Amino acid sequence: METILSVNNLTKKFGYLTAVKDLSFTIEKGNVYGILGPNGSGKSTTLGIVLNVVNETNGTFSWFNGDTDTHNALKKVGAIIERPNFYPYMTAVQNLKLVCKIKEVSEDKIEEKLKLVGLLERKNSKFKTYSLGMKQRLAIASALLNDPEILILDEPTNGLDPQGIHQIREIIKKIARQGTTILLASHLLDEVEKVCSHVVILRKGEKLYSGRVDDMLASHGFFELKTENMAELETYLEKNDSFGKVTTENGLITAFLTEEMNPAVLNQELFKKGIILSHMVKRKESLEEQFLTLTKNQSN
Amino acid sequence: MIRLLQIEFIKLWNNRASKVLIISYFVLLTSIALVAAIKFDIGPVKFHLADQGIFNFPYIWHFNTFITAFFKLFLAIVIVSMMANEYSNKTIKQNLIDGLSKKEFVLSKFLTVISFAVISTVFVFVVSMILGLIYSDYNEISIIFSDLEYLFAFFIKLIGFFSFCLFLGILVKRSAFALGFLILWQVFEGFVRGMIRWKLFDGETTDRIMGFFPLNSMWNLIKEPFSRLGAVKSVANQIGEEFNFDYAVHWYEILIVLVWTAIFIYLSYALLKKRDL
């Protein structure tokens, strides 16, 4: 695996406040990463540091195995942090031409990228006349100008209306399908769940977890079951070693697995015992549930 | 280097306010030629400014660089706002994220400042040359090309002043406040001069000390040329006064301004490097 970014023991203090505490993680090529955390957990600060706009207090980071210095590495990165910042008096095309000059890439791709984000008709309008959604899409176009190795997005749907959110997500998915590495910071869990394969979870500047979304909790998922004879089912489940915690809520039994189990096997077993299910679902905890469990475990 | 200048050019030239100010600045530089047209012809009083010797070589170099240096305030506005706007639009953050290093960022601004100074100097040279060739009483090559150090001093003066503006733009981050600070600083230097003269030293020592202050050192580069004018001198002689000033451009004055320039540019860089955006 090719390492794109590695962060080692990064710490950032703003006066008394420690925004990022001893943070380490690596970003490998080809994955879609999410940085999750409540507001003020240090997501933007971390991105600010690796993007050369915030100075670290301690620790190091290196792009592309440290082969190039940060500002040259950033030419191979596309990033949007917080609000889109462009020159308000310049048109979309003029702004993008400037970005091309900074990134030292040719201007051929401007039209193509504007088309990708659906701004081609407004390309000669001044930036200040754009709506927030359009500004955000222009920022994405600008970040893609160099066909980056990695795309960094910080709260890309913040402040947008539902339609705008949808448009941005579609664009992100389209980019992810092309195999671009993406690092997405967000506090919106479903957003991360929909696109990310890996997550880094932060709380108060500390890393709670980093790794694959699937491996976040050592969990085999759980069954949601319903039958006529609830009491019998409950007794069966409690006696079975494959199940851990069993809860009943609103006439629905939730049984957590302690080991892998095929739903067909369980169904057959129960049928033999004369328990006939009227409802059976096997699923894994949603990212939200996992996230809450994780943050709760560590919240003292 | 060309790339950095191009980046700055795109930013400046697409901004209408900057464009208007830059154009008016150069129009004003040219307008010094209009002084030639000042002509009073009221009955017995005939006065034609161009005939008073202000366009004589080599005096014209001194006179024109002194006068046109006042117009630098127009460019000061452009420079302060080109720096401060990067902060208020937060585009400086985007520039850095896009892969411009902090050093390149300051360098691109400084190169722009140097370009402004170079173009202004060439402009003043050409305008003065034309005016001189039309009105000067002396047209020998050796006289035309003497005293050219005033042009050099003009160039250094602009670079020093613009670097100061650049630094204020970064320091204050708001164009209006930065310009206010510039005026405040001028007042401050005046105040310091007053205090030193009043409490500490005689006039000569005060002048020498004040020569180390940024704005004063820039002012010192080109001394006022009026008392050197023939007409003024003869009037002074009639009332029994004799001017005996030192009009020359001194190497140590140039050096002081260059040192200030270096300090301002370095401080701009240090400030940018230290700050979180």
The reply to whether residue A55 touches residue B94, judged by beta carbons under 8 angstroms, is: no
* pLDDT > 80? residue A1: no
CA–CA dist A207, A61 (Å, integer): 16
What pLDDT is attached to residue A300? 46
Domain A3-212 class? alpha beta
What pLDDT is attached to residue A277? 87
Q: Is residue A197 packed enough to be buried (19+ CB in 10 Å), middle (13-18) or exposed (0-12)?
A: middle
The reply to whether residue B7 touches residue A86, judged by beta carbons under 8 angstroms, is: no
Predicted confidence (pLDDT) per residue in A203-231, tens digit: 888 888 888 877 776 667 888 888 888 88
| CA A97 to mean position of chain CA atoms | 30
Assess contact for B244 and B146: CB atoms under 8 A: no
Q: Which residues of B touch A48 (CB under 8 A)?
A: 276-277
Q: Which residues pair with A184 in a beta bridge?
A: A34, A153
**Which residue matches tokens 């095309």?**
A93
B69 to each of A14, B158, B235, how far by Cα in Å? 44, 8, 27
User: Using CB atoms, which residue from B11, B15, B99 is nearest to A98?
Assistant: B11
What pLDDT is attached to residue A298? 59
Predicted confidence (pLDDT) per residue in B149-185, tens digit: 899 999 999 999 999 999 999 999 998 999 999 999 9
The reply to whether residue A52 touches residue B96, judged by beta carbons under 8 angstroms, is: yes
| CA B143 to mean position of chain CA atoms | 25
- pLDDT band at residue A66 using 50, 70 and 90 as cut-offs: confident
- pLDDT band at residue B37 using 50, 70 and 90 as cut-offs: low
Positions of CATH 3.30.70.100 in chain A: 222-283
Q: Taking residues A75-86, report their average pLDDT.
A: 87
Q: Taking residues B142-154, report their average pLDDT.
A: 87
Q: Taking residues B55-68, report their average pLDDT.
A: 85
User: Using CB atoms, which residue from B16, B97, B276 is nearest to A81?
Assistant: B97
Q: Taking residues A97-120, report their average pLDDT.
A: 90
The reply to whether residue B97 touches residue A52, judged by beta carbons under 8 angstroms, is: yes
Contacts of B228-237 with C-beta under 8 Å, sequence gap 24+, read B228/B59, B228/B62, B229/B52, B229/B53, B229/B54, B229/B59, B230/B52, B230/B53, B231/B52, B231/B53
User: Using CB atoms, which residue from B15, B96, B276 is nearest to A89?
Assistant: B15
CA–CA dist B234, B203 (Å, integer): 27
Cβ neighbors of A86 (< 8 A, separation 6 or more) are: A95, A127, A135, A138, A139, A142, B89, B91, B94
* pLDDT > 50? residue B249: yes
| CA B197 to mean position of chain CA atoms | 26
Q: Which residues of A touch B93 (CB under 8 A)?
A: 53, 81, 85
Strands across the sheet containing A58-63: A17-28, A3-14, A58-63
CA–CA dist A201, A290 (Å, integer): 11
Cβ neighbors of A249 (< 8 A, separation 6 or more) are: none
* Token pair of B92 as six digits: 């400086």
Closest residue in A to B274 (Cα) is A55
Assess contact for A120 and A111: CB atoms under 8 A: yes
Q: How many CB pairs under 8 A join A and B?
A: 81
Positions of CATH 3.40.50.300 in chain A: 3-212
CA–CA dist B265, B160 (Å, integer): 10
Q: Which residues of A touch B89 (CB under 8 A)?
A: 85-88
* pLDDT > 90? residue A169: no
Maximum separation of any 2 CA atoms in chain A, in Å: 75
* pLDDT > 80? residue B19: yes
Q: Taking residues B114-127, report their average pLDDT.
A: 92
Q: Which residues of B touch A71 (CB under 8 A)?
A: 96, 99-102, 104
What pLDDT is attached to residue A142? 92
- pLDDT band at residue B230 using 50, 70 and 90 as cut-offs: low
Classified as helix, coil or strand, A242 is coil
Assess contact for B226 and B67: CB atoms under 8 A: no
Dihedrals phi, psi of B23, to nearest 5 degrees: -65, -45
User: Using CB atoms, which residue from A73, A75, A102 is nearest to B7?
Assistant: A102
Predicted confidence (pLDDT) per residue in A179-200, tens digit: 889 998 887 777 777 778 888 8
CA–CA dist A242, B15 (Å, integer): 70
Greatest mean pLDDT range, A295-299, B65-69, B150-154: B150-154
CA–CA dist A42, A220 (Å, integer): 31
Taking any CB pair shorter than 8 Å as contact, residues of chain B touching chain A are 3, 6-7, 10-11, 14-16, 89-91, 93-102, 104, 273-274, 276-277
> CATH assignment of A222-283?
3.30.70.100
Q: What angle do CA B62, B67, B73 make, to 5 degrees?
A: 135
CA–CA dist B258, B277 (Å, integer): 30
One-character DSSP codes across A97-166: HHHHHHHT--GGGHHHHHHHTT-GGGTTSBGGGS-HHHHHHHHHHHHHTT--SEEEEESTTTT--HHHHH
Q: What angle do CA A233, A236, A240 make, to 5 degrees?
A: 140
B92 to each of A43, A91, A284, B146, B177, how far by Cα in Å? 20, 18, 45, 45, 19
